[in-house]
Structure 1
Amino acid sequence: MTKSAPVQGTQVVKRIANLMREVAQRNEQGARLVDLCRTVQLEQPTAHRLLKALAAEGLVVQHPESKRYQLGPLVSELGLAVQTAFDVRALAHETLERIASFTKDTVYLLVQSRYESVCLDRREGSYPIKVLTLDVGGRRPLGSNASGVCLLGSLPEEEMEGILQHNASLYPQYEGLSEAKVRSYVQEFKARGYADVSIAPGTRTVGLAIKGPNGRPIAAIAVAAVEGRMQSPRNEEIVQFVLKEIVALERSLFSHTV
Structure 2
Amino acid sequence: MPGPIQSLERAAAILRLLAGGERRLGLSDVASTLGLAKGTAHGILRTLQQEGFVEQDPASGRYQLGAELLRLGNSYLDVHELRARALVWTDDLARSSGESVYLGVLHQHGVLIVHHVFRPDDSRQVLEVGAMHPLHSSALGKVLAAYDPVAHSEALEAERTAFTDRTVTDAGEFEKVLQLTRARGWGSDLEETWEGVASVAAPVHDRRRMPVGAVGVTGAVERVCLDGEIRPGLVAAVRDAARAVSRDLGATRF
What TM-score do the two structures reach when normalised by structure 2?
0.58
Matched residue, 1:245:
241
What are the Cα deviations for residues 206-258 of structure 1, in whole angstroms up to 9, with x where unaligned? 11010124433111011011111122497211121222222222121128xxx
Matched residue, 1:162:
153
Instruction: Quote the offset at 1:162 in angstroms.
Output: 2.5
Matched residue, 1:235:
231
In structure 2, relative to structure 1, the CA distance for the partners of 1:189 and 1:83 (3 Å cut) is closer
For the 8 Å contact 2:205–2:249, the answer to whether it is kept is no
Matched residue, 1:191:
183
Which protein is richer in helix relative to its size?
1
CA distance in 2: counterparts of 1:104 and 1:130, whole angstroms? 14
Please list, as runs of the form range in 1=range in 2, the aligned pairs for 1:8-19 lying within 5 A after superposition. none
Tell me, which stretches of 5 or more residues in structure 2 are unaligned? 1-75
Matched residue, 2:106:
112
What are the Cα deviations for residues 77-103 of structure 1, in whole angstroms up to 9, with x where unaligned? xxxxx9839711111111111000001
Matched residue, 1:143:
136
CA distance in 2: counterparts of 1:85 and 1:160, whole angstroms? 17
Percent same amino acid at aligned positions? 20
Instruction: Quote the offset at 1:182 in angstroms.
Output: 3.8
Check if 1:175 corresponds to 2:175.
no
Instruction: Quote the offset at 1:131 in angstroms.
Output: 8.3
Aligned length: 169
Please list, as runs of the form range in 1=range in 2, the aligned pairs for 1:34-183 lying within 5 A after superposition. 84=78, 87-127=81-121, 135-156=128-149, 159=150, 161-167=152-158, 169-172=159-162, 174-175=163-164, 177-180=167-170, 182-183=174-175
Tell me, which stretches of 5 or more residues in structure 1 are unaligned? 1-81
Check if 1:206 corresponds to 2:196.
no
Question: Any idea what SS the aligned residue of 1:171 has?
Answer: coil
Question: Any idea what SS the aligned residue of 1:215 has?
Answer: coil
CA distance in 2: counterparts of 1:87 and 1:148, whole angstroms? 20
Question: Any idea what SS the aligned residue of 2:249 has?
Answer: helix
CA distance in 2: counterparts of 1:142 and 1:111, whole angstroms? 10
In structure 2, relative to structure 1, the CA distance for the partners of 1:170 and 1:244 (3 Å cut) is closer
What are the Cα deviations for residues 144-166 of structure 1, in whole angstroms up to 9, with x where unaligned? 3110111110123xx45531332
What are the Cα deviations for residues 118-160 of structure 1, in whole angstroms up to 9, with x where unaligned? 000111122466886x81101133223110111110123xx45
